[in-house]
Structure 1
Amino acid sequence: MSADTGTAAEHDGTPASGIDDVTLGRIETEVALLMRLGEATRRRTPTAEHRLLDRAAYVILRQLDAAGPQNVSALAEVLNLDGSTVTRQVSAMQRDGLIVREPDPSDGRGTMIAPTPAGLCRMAAVRAARIRLYDDVLADWTTVDRRDLAQALHRLNQALDAHTRNR
């Protein structure tokens, strides 16, 4: 951290208590650019795997792979989305053979959403392609820099999720 932008709180590991408008402005700009460039990179990368799934289907399949079958309400809650949005996406994914609906064993009236082998295969292909892309993009970064970025992004995602849930 350069001396002109750092604060005493930043150096001792405690959260900054004051608002640093310059730093917050840089964060806002960098996050906006990250989102735009992430999508542009996905569209422009010649590797077909990047386009096997849209962003929403990828996130839903990652969640189902990590946590197992879930109902739409649980998916909406964990992904911080509106239930109707998840319902529409799940319907499209079912038409594409990426997920199946199964009876909910704890509630005969409900359904659980589960990934199909084809859905998991596509998700794995997209994930592998993304990992290769980031390995290429970050080729000149040290292992420590990569770990620091992963940790900072994880903390940012946790803070954004907590902020959204507390609203």
Structure 2
Amino acid sequence: MTDDHTSGPLPDEITLGRIETEVALLMRFGEATRRATGTAEHRVLDRAAYVILRHLDTAGPQNVSALAATLNLDGSTVTRQVSAMQRDGLIARTPDPADGRGTVISPTAAGLQRMAAVQAARTRLYGEILAAWDEGDRDTLAELLRRLNEALNSRNRSRSTR
């Protein structure tokens, strides 16, 4: 969009366009890096299982509905993922103390061990990638990514309640 006094994009539009490009590249290069990384540690869990286990490790046991809402996913998608994870021994289902008809999902020791291996491998990888960055720049990047994820999550939550 332009205004009547300029012949090109407004500065904010240019910046937002740069952000869009960089986020698209981040997703592409992140996936390419994940696939190209030779260590088995990166592949002991698929992305969905890793995200679910990370969340359960932080938030504690949850039912599928709460997990789906938190991860902004359809309940049937989470149910399929959780079923596969249960078959692989990564999570356990136990009766929901708040609702005896339901179950809660919690990580098993094996699930947490695999999650920790992937997390450690990813942390080492980012340490290598960002080795030339000073600590302040790494800290700024971490904070800005946290804020971006928070804003994305907030937007997704507000749209799903409409």
Match in the other structure for 1:107: 99
Partner Cα distance (2:11, 2:97) in 1:
50
CA deviations on 1:16-68 (whole Å, 9 max, x unpaired) are xx871211111111111111111111111011110111111000000110111
* 2:82 paired with 1:90: yes
CA deviations on 1:48-92 (whole Å, 9 max, x unpaired) are 110111111000000110111100001011111111111010011
1:117 maps to amino acid: A
* 2:126 paired with 1:121: no
2:17 maps to amino acid: G
* 2:50 paired with 1:20: no
Partner Cα distance (1:124, 1:99) in 2:
14
SS at match of 1:140: coil
Displacement of 1:160 after TM fit? 0.7
Map 1:150-161; keep pairs closer than 5 Å: 150-161=142-153
Match in the other structure for 2:60: 68
* 2:72 paired with 1:77: no
Aligned positions, number: 150
* 2:138 paired with 1:146: yes
Identical aligned residues as a percent: 74
Match in the other structure for 1:133: 125
2:61 maps to amino acid: P
Partner Cα distance (1:39, 1:119) in 2:
22
Match in the other structure for 1:34: 26
In structure 1, runs of 5+ residues without a counterpart are 1-17
Partner Cα distance (1:145, 1:132) in 2:
17
TM-score by length of 2: 0.90
1:130 maps to amino acid: R
Instruction: List structure 1 segments (4+ residues) > 3 angstroms apart after TM superposition.
Output: none
Partner Cα distance (1:118, 1:27) in 2:
39
Partner Cα distance (1:54, 1:19) in 2:
40
Match in the other structure for 2:4: none
Cα-Cα RMSD: 1.1
1:52 maps to amino acid: V
TM-score by length of 1: 0.87
> Is the deviation greater in 29-38 or in 129-138?
29-38
